[in-house]
Amino acid sequence: MLIKVISSIVIIISFTLIGGIHANTYSNRTKLLSQLLISLQMLETEISYSATPLPILLSNIGKKSKEDIGSIFLKASEILSKKEGYTFSYLWSMILDSEGMALDLYPEDLEIFKQLGNNLGATDINNQIKHIRLIMEELRRNHEDAIIAEKRNVKLYKQLGLLAGFAIAIVLF
Amino acid sequence: MINVDLIFKIAAIGIIVSVLNMVLNKAGREEQAMMTTLVGIIVVLMMVINLVSELFETVKAMFQLY
């Protein structure tokens, strides 16, 4: 009898946590998008005020950003400084394909972020700044969508997890 | 009389299915709400079907309606 009670409590708690984990992907996406916007703002400021070359620029931004987004910039700067002869846009899409999959961003967000690779280090300062601002605008739109989706979904998945736990516990016992 | 636990189980499943239905409807996912209602019906049916067949056997034997 006691074992039944304990195991049903364990089942309920674990299903609630599963629902919470799935809900986390939504709130992670919102956080990642806002970090991304902050990093892009820093990038724009650094490009317009100092003429640092690309590897150093990327590693500065990477160190100043929070961990998830910063690691992408740091990795790009590291591979660039090895001077293995990659073009920046090829390198950028390669890094985003490998690292970006582990993050909770949607494919649309990654596509927009990849556009950055086509323009950095390619044209003069004003054009680069314009491109960065364009990318920031598009990401801002996605960020607002992400906030709406988060509000709608996080509570839903937590409640679903709890109810599913109850249902399974009752059916089994 | 026989196995009162089953009645409680069925009642609890009914409550949970209706709460799930409400939550999913409110969140806009009506197709999934419909799906969980159907699943609840099937689960309860599976729990009960043995007893129902026993009932029919008993009735047949009692009235010798073979």
Q: Write out pLDDT tens, residues B19-47.
A: 999 999 988 889 989 998 999 999 899 88
- Mark yes or no for CB contact A167/B9 under 8 Å: no
B17 phi-psi bin (left φ>0, alpha ψ -120 to 50, beta other): alpha
How many domains is chain A built from? 1
The residues on A that touch B, with CB distances below 8 Å, are 152, 156, 159-160, 163, 166-167, 170-171
Residue A149 has pLDDT above 70, yes or no: yes
Domain that holds residue A34: 2-172
Q: Write out pLDDT tens, residues A5-35.
A: 999 999 999 999 999 999 998 888 888 888 8
Write out the H or E segment, with its range, that includes residue A121. none
CA–CA distance from A115 to each of A10, A106, A139 (Å)? 47, 15, 11
CA–CA distance from A16 to each of A6, A10, A109 (Å)? 15, 10, 29
CA–CA distance from A78 to each of A41, A62, A119 (Å)? 21, 11, 19
Residue A86 has pLDDT above 80, yes or no: no
Question: How far is the alpha carbon of B20 from chain A, nearest alpha carbon, in Å?
Answer: 7
Q: Establish whether this prediction's ipTM goes over 0.90.
A: no
Neighbours of A38 (CB within 10 A): 14
Q: Does B19 touch chain A (CB under 8 A)?
A: yes
Residues above pLDDT 70, as percent of chain B: 94
Q: Write out pLDDT tens, residues A102-123.
A: 888 888 888 888 887 777 777 7
Chain-centroid distance of CA A137 in Å reads 16
> Angle formed by the axes of helices A2-49 and A107-119, to 10°?
20
The pLDDT-based confidence of B2 (bands split at 50, 70, 90) is low
Contact A121, A90 (CB under 8 A): no
- Among residues B36, B31, B9, the alpha carbon closest in space to that of B20 is found at B36
Q: What is the mean pLDDT of residues A82-95?
A: 80
Four-point Cα dihedral A151, A152, A157, A159, nearest 10: 90
Nearest residue of B to residue A152 by CA position?
B27
